[in-house]
Amino acid sequence: MLRKGCWRLQARLCFLYRSVQVSKSGHRKLVSCIDPSMGLNEEQKEFQKVAFNFAAQEMAPNMAEWDQKELFPVEMMQKAAQLGFGGVYVRTDVGGSGLSRLDTSIIFEALATGCTSTTAYISIHNMCVWMIDTFGNEEQRHKFCPPLCTMTKFASYCLTEPESGSDAASLLTSAKRQGDHYILNGSKAFISGGGESDIYVVMCRTGGPGPKGISCIIVEKGTPGLSFGKKEKKVGWNSQPTRAVIFEDCAVPVANRIGNEGQGFLIAMKGLNGGRINVASCSLGAAHASLVLTRDYLNARKQFGVPLASNQYLQFKLADMATRLVASRLIIRSAAVALQEEREDAVTLCSMAKLFATDECFTICNQALQMHGGYGYLKDYAVQQYVRDSRVHQILEGSNEVMRMLISRNLLQM
């Protein structure tokens, strides 16, 4: 059944990849109004095509198996890294691709059509590498970034704790300096890649209470005192493991601190600004795939002697889904450009993009399942996995309630 489901998914997703191809005869594209290549330059269209092809060939055929067997697809991600996807917006001198935030969004949207869960992990990994590349010294950059860019090593972002989620500045994990080491004690919760990753970018308290007492320290797998909790059983995101990360008198060299003491919260938030665009882009990929699969299903499925596509109510629903998708894509790309340009409105736009796109794209995926009827609830059909994998995007990288708080705070300060 699983193998049959994988084959069916791959067959259905072929429509998606054809939707962004131009035929040799120059005819119009199959899904013109939602074409994700609209507005892109030729270089961006080329690496978008590479990402879509990789998603079709390496990810989509295995998406259901990774989900149902909870497999962490290391070999596939290392293949993705060979295309430059392990350090998309990391500088080239340490092995990164040196692309822009907009370029990164384009790539993650395309990859997410093949497997949203795995792409989301790749996006978190990229965020960690960027933090080291941006805030680390030259020795740290050249030590940690090259193996992360090739994905011979993997990275995890460690901010959330059992008692500090949205209130991240109240974190309790401590790092007390003893000579040339920090001694870490505490735990982190809901860590993507926990137990599998090699590098843990940890926010911990080196000073007093509040954000100014937080520092950023790299903890390497195998360090004495570092351990992991049980693998969490999740609704979605099953191709990436989630565990608690635990520190018990864990001694880490002071040389592993990124930036200055007290700079950790700033580094964490800078990382999350891009992370919010990244995860919103993953939602875009899930929604785009779901919409194309639904269009295909409506054309093929007949009820009362006619295709479902002839039903005006369903036509209108499809139009609403398309409008939500394109609006989400536009706000994400606008925020990506603002972040790249370091504009004053970048943080707020990233919050808006994450809020709007993850909400609207989940609505698209959920509506796609509804329009598939009972078949949509079967694991043979991909839409249910897009629903499960995209739901958590409204919670992580700052919940959408926190996004509303950030947006309103900006408005009320004016």
User: Is 342 in the active site?
Assistant: no
End-to-end CA distance of the chain: 58
Closest by Cα among 102, 30, 122 to 330: 102
Quick one: average pLDDT of 355-382? 97
Distance CA 182, CA 179 (A): 8
Mean pLDDT (the chain, rounded): 93
Q: What is the pLDDT of residue 253?
A: 98
**pLDDT at residue 7 is higher than 60:** no
The span from the CA of 223 to the CA of 308, in Å, is: 58
Segment 286-309 shows an average pLDDT of 96
Produce one character per residue of 32-55: b if its CB has 16 or more CB atoms within 10 Å, e if not: eebbbbeebeeebbebbeebbebb
What pLDDT is attached to residue 16?
Answer: 53
pLDDT at 408: 97
* pLDDT tens per residue across span 194-250: 999 999 999 999 999 999 999 999 999 999 999 999 999 999 999 999 999 999 999
The pLDDT of residue 409 is above 70: yes
Q: Distance between CA 314 and CA 41 in Å, rounded?
A: 34
pLDDT of residue 11: 54
The CATH classification number of 42-154 equals 1.10.540.10
User: Residues spanned by CATH 2.40.110.10 within the chain?
Assistant: 156-262
pLDDT single digits (tens) 39-57: 999 999 999 999 999 999 9
pLDDT of residue 165: 86
Alpha carbon distance 184, 176 (integer Å) = 7
Cα–Cα distances in Å, from 209 out to 4, 168, 172, 216, 393? Answer: 55, 12, 9, 15, 29
pLDDT at position 4 is 41
Task: Write out the residue limits of the CATH 1.20.140.10 domain(s) in the chain.
Answer: 265-412
What is the CATH code of the structural domain delimited by 156-262? 2.40.110.10
Q: Which of 138, 344, 397, 401 is an active site residue?
A: 397
Tens digit of pLDDT for each residue in 130-188? 999 999 999 999 999 999 999 999 999 999 999 998 899 999 999 999 999 999 999 99
- Average pLDDT rounded to a whole number, residues 396-409: 96
pLDDT exceeds cutoff 70 at 30: no
Q: Delimit the CATH 1.10.540.10 region(s) of the chain.
A: 42-154
CATH number of 265-412: 1.20.140.10
**Average pLDDT of the segment spanning 286-308:** 96
